[in-house]
Amino acid sequence: MDIVAFPSVVAANIDYTGEYISRRCRTLTDAELLQRVDASNYRLTTLGESFITGKATADEIEFDG
């Protein structure tokens, strides 16, 4: 199931600001864990789903910096 969400929707459901969630979404997109759907929506990638379900490890993810 694909879930597409604005960072502000995520922020409204957890204890972080929309600005913080937007920055984290960009970082997770760079690591290919999220995919930007349009100007403000993101979805989990196959790699992201594999990571949160334990099928992929942090060693398989490339983070810059």
Question: Model pTM?
Answer: 0.83
The pLDDT > 70 percentage for the chain reads 97
Domains detected in the chain: 4-60 (1.10.10.10)
pLDDT tens digit string along 33-58?
999 999 989 999 999 999 999 999 98
Q: What pLDDT, on the 0 to 100 scale, is given for residue 37?
A: 94
Is the Cβ–Cβ distance between 18 and 7 less than 8 Å? Answer: yes
Q: Report residue 2's pLDDT band, with 50, 70 and 90 as the boundaries.
A: confident
pLDDT of 64 higher than 80: no
Is 70 exceeded by the pLDDT of residue 65?
A: no
